[in-house]
Chains A and B, each alone.
Chain A
Amino acid sequence: MNPRRKKRLAIVGSILIGIGVVSGLVLYALSQNIDLFFTPSEITQGKKETGLMPSLGQRIRIGGLVVPGSVKRDPESLKVSFRLSDMTMPIVFKDSDPMITVYYEGILPDLFREGQGIVANGTLTEHPPTGLSIEASEVLAKHDENYMPAELAEAAGQKHDKATYSEKQLESKKTNSY
Chain B
Amino acid sequence: MWKWLHPYANPEVSYHFTNKLLPWLSALTVIFLTIGLVWALLFAPADYQQGHSFRIFYIHVPAASLSMGIYVAMAIAAFSSLVWQLKLADASAAAMAPVGAAFTAIALITGAAWGKPMWGTWWIWDARLTSELILLFLYLGVIALHNAFEDKNLAGKAAGILTLVGVINIPIIKYSVEWWNTLHQGSTVSKLGKPSMSLDMLWPFIFCFIGFSLLVSVIICLRFRNEILARNSIRPWVRELVQQSTVK
Contact for B119 among A8, A140, A144, A150, CB less than 8 A: A140
Inter-chain CA distance A34–B191, complex, in Å, is: 23
Rounded to whole angstroms, the CA-CA distance of A144 and B196 in the bound complex is 10
A31 touches B165 (CB 8 A): no
CA distance A160 to B54 in the complex (A): 14
Residues of A within 8 A of B203 (CB): none
B165, chain A: closest CB distance, angstroms: 6
Task: Please choose the segment from B120-128, B216-224, B230-238 that sits at the chain A interface, where 4 or more of its residues have CB less than 8 A away.
Answer: B120-128
A94 within 8 A of B: no
Contact indicator per residue, chain B 52-94, by CB within 8 Å of chain A (1) or not (0) = 0010010000000000000000000001001110000000000
Residues 5-41 of A contacting B (Cβ, < 8 Å): 5, 8-9, 12, 15-16, 19-20, 23, 27, 31, 34-37, 39
Residues on the A chain within 8 Å of B47, using CB: 147-150
**CB-CB contacts of A105-143 with B at 8 A, as 1s and 0s?**
000011101000001000000000000000000111111
Main secondary structure of the interface of A (DSSP, over half): mixed
Kindly list chain B residues whose C-beta atoms are within 8 Å of the C-beta of A27.
Answer: 172, 179
Q: Type the 1/0 row for B193-205, where 1 means its CB is closer than 8 Å to any CB of A.
A: 0001110110000
Known pairs A147-B47, A154-B48; A109 contacts B172 (CB<8 A): no
Nearest-neighbor residue (CB-CB) of B200 within chain A: A149
Determine the chain B residues whose CB is within 8 A of the CB of A113 once the complex forms: 49
Q: Give the dominant DSSP class at B's interface.
A: loop
Q: From B171, which residue of chain A is reached at the shortest CB distance?
A: A20
Say whether B197 contacts A147, CB under 8 Å.
Answer: yes
Q: Is the CB of A19 within 8 A of B168?
A: yes
**Contact of A146 with B196 in the complex, beta carbons under 8 Å:** yes
Query: Are B57 and A147 in touch, CB under 8 angstroms?
Result: yes
B185 CB-CB contact with A under 8 Å: yes
> Which of A19, A36, A148 makes the CB contact (< 8 A) with B127?
A36
Closest to A160 in B: B49
Query: Chain A contacts of B125 at CB under 8 A?
Result: 36
Find out whether the CB atom of B181 lies under 8 angstroms from the CB atom of A145.
no
Q: Is the CB of A140 within 8 A of B127?
A: no
Given contacts A36-B181, A39-B181, contact A109 B197 (CB under 8 A): no
Contact A147 B196 (CB under 8 A): yes
- A149:B164 contact, CB within 8 angstroms: no
What is the 8 Å Cβ interface bit string for chain B, positions 89-129, against chain A (1 contact, 0 not)?
A: 00000000000000000000000000001111100111100
Residues of chain B with a CB closer than 8 A to A153's CB = 48-49
Interchain residue pairs with CB less than 8 A apart (11): A15-B165, A27-B179, A36-B125, A63-B181, A140-B120, A141-B118, A144-B196, A146-B188, A147-B57, A149-B48, A158-B49
A residues near B, CB below 8 A?
5, 8-9, 12, 15-16, 19-20, 23, 27, 31, 34-37, 39, 63, 109-111, 113, 119, 138-154, 158-160
Q: Beyond A27-B179, A110-B117: 20 further Cβ-contacts under 8 Å?
A: A5-B84, A12-B79, A16-B164, A31-B179, A31-B180, A34-B127, A36-B125, A37-B181, A111-B118, A113-B49, A119-B183, A138-B120, A143-B50, A143-B119, A144-B186, A147-B201, A148-B48, A149-B47, A153-B49, A160-B49
Residues of B within 8 A of A (CB): 45-50, 54, 57, 79, 82-84, 117-121, 124-127, 164-165, 167-168, 172, 179-183, 185-188, 191, 196-198, 200-201
